[in-house]
Structure 1
Amino acid sequence: MDLRPYQITDREGCLAVFDSNAPEWNTGEREAFEAFLSNPPGPYFVLEHDGAVAGCGGFAFENPGLASLCWIMVRDGLHRNGLGRLLVFSAMRKMTQEGDPEMARLNTSPRSAGFFEKQGFHVLEINGDNVEMRKKMKVCP
């Protein structure tokens, strides 16, 4: 496994990862992900295995104290192997190297919320198929 920065040549591989999880996503989300891949708002990474994209994910700062995890996903068939955890913790490590966020947030589906709870995120709000979650990045002020 190789974790490296996203390049535009990874676009189709990332879309294939998205499509492998497609039953989980609503129809408008693929278009949103395509737009995101054209111009990621922050660092985005690709997890590569045997020359193919196995997963992808990244983050963006919303303001100095708040960072958002962005489009963290692993190709269906490779779930439950620690790859999602690797993506989450690599993104969080990088965000603390590049800034000083007090809080990390993300939006996910009800199907994936349990995974993120295991990574220390807490549900803030559920609105239909969208679950907003947050995690404190600092224990002490």
Structure 2
Amino acid sequence: MSTIRAFTAADAPACLAMFDGNVPRYFGAHERADFATYLQQPARAADYLVIESGGRVVACGGLAMDDALTAAFCWGMVDHTVHRQGLGRALAQARLQQARTCGARRVVLRTSQHTCDFYIGLGFGITRVVTDGHGPGLDAVDMQRVLSLG
């Protein structure tokens, strides 16, 4: 059974290992330092979630409010050894609910060509594609989803 909970500083090594396991297909190695810095911020306890299963962190992802009505998904990932088991969907749904709770009416994200179809399946639409935007062979795909009221 999986549990979605708030991130704690003790989760950082597991999140960084998860990041490393998703390089180079989903992240560029050059992004690791930015992710490590992101995890060190005190706000992570309030805006970053992890999924724990069998005593280990298997997914993580955050939500930031860009403005009063727009939330952004940040640094979402699933351990590469457990892809395609519904963890990404559960994490995305939890963050969408978190966005609604914060009063957001729109959620934006930047992903790659490798995961944009996953987000399309969750109701997101593509707003822009930047070829090699995350590095060679890793396009930056901007997406958004309008949240329904209620």
Category of TM-score, reference length = shorter chain: over 0.9
The one-character-per-residue Cα deviations of 1:22-69 (angstroms, maximum 9, x if unpaired) are 112223211111111111565101111112110001201000010001
Q: Which runs of 5+ in 2 are unaligned?
A: 132-138
Runs of 4+ more than 3 Å apart: none
The answer to whether residue 62 in structure 2 is matched with residue 61 in structure 1 is no
For 1:139 and 1:7, the matched residues in 2 are separated by 31
**Number of residue pairs matched by the alignment:** 139
Superposed counterparts of 1:34-49, under 5 Å: 34-39=36-41, 40=43, 43-49=47-53
For 2:55 and 2:105, the matched residues in 1 are separated by 36
Shift of 1:139: 6.0
Question: Residue type matched to 2:51 in 1?
Answer: L
Q: Which runs of 5+ in 1 are unaligned?
A: none
Question: Residue type matched to 2:28 in 1?
Answer: N
Shift of 1:17: 1.0
User: Partner of 1:23: helix, strand, or coil?
Assistant: coil
The one-character-per-residue Cα deviations of 1:66-96 (angstroms, maximum 9, x if unpaired) are 0001111100121111100000000111221
Q: Which residue of 2 aligns with 1:93?
A: 97
For 2:28 and 2:84, the matched residues in 1 are separated by 23
Q: Which residue of 2 aligns with 1:126?
A: 129
TM-score by length of 1: 0.92
TM-score by length of 2: 0.87
Which of 94, 115, 119 aligns to 1:116? It is 119
CA contact (8 A) 2:99 2:107 kept: no
Shift of 1:138: 2.8
Report % sequence identity: 31
